[in-house]
Amino acid sequence: MIKLVRVDHRLLHGQVAFTWVKMIGTDCILIANDSVAKDELRMSALRMAKPDNTKLVIKSIEDSIKAIKSGATDKYNLFIICESIKDAYELAKHIDSIKKINLGGTKLAAGRKQISKAMFVSEEDCQMLKELDAMGLSLEVQMVPDDIAENVMKLI
């Protein structure tokens, strides 16, 4: 069962590894990202940040979709972390059980505008978010569980 899909360019770090994991009651974290799935150094660093008693799986977007659709993840309380809005968009377009996406943080870069303390979005990101909203997904900006979740559509 998918407990939460989160976009956070830092992927697995203190806030995620402890605060979010505890709050949502997950026993498995899936990091869904093509570049991370090919980078042994990044995967090793992420494995060290993994909380005890929590399984960590790192897969490409395509392999993540296949695993979820096959039912292989059904036995877990699954927390999916994506590095970008594009990654979350690709998952949501192919997995009907994704009904909500939590936006925690994306990098500041040229051509991006700030919509919250840690969220910077491009025009392409905004277009994808609008499509996801039109599909009926709940899209919220929320850095930590204690923060009030804000509707992304009101921010962009």
* Residue 33, number of CB atoms within 10 A of its CB: 23
CATH number of 2-155: 3.40.35.10
Q: What is the pTM of this model?
A: 0.95
DSSP string, 128-146: HHHHHHHTT-EEEE-SSTT
The tokens describing 85, both together, are: 């809005």
Q: How far apart are CA 89 and CA 104, in angstroms?
A: 15
Share of the chain above pLDDT 90, in %: 90
Q: Alpha-carbon Rg of the chain, whole angstroms? A: 14
pLDDT in tens, 38-94: 999 999 999 998 998 999 999 999 999 999 999 999 999 999 999 999 999 999 999
DSSP string, 19-51: IIHHHHT-SEEEEE-TTGGG-HHHHHHHHHHPP
Query: So where are the chain's domains?
Result: 2-155
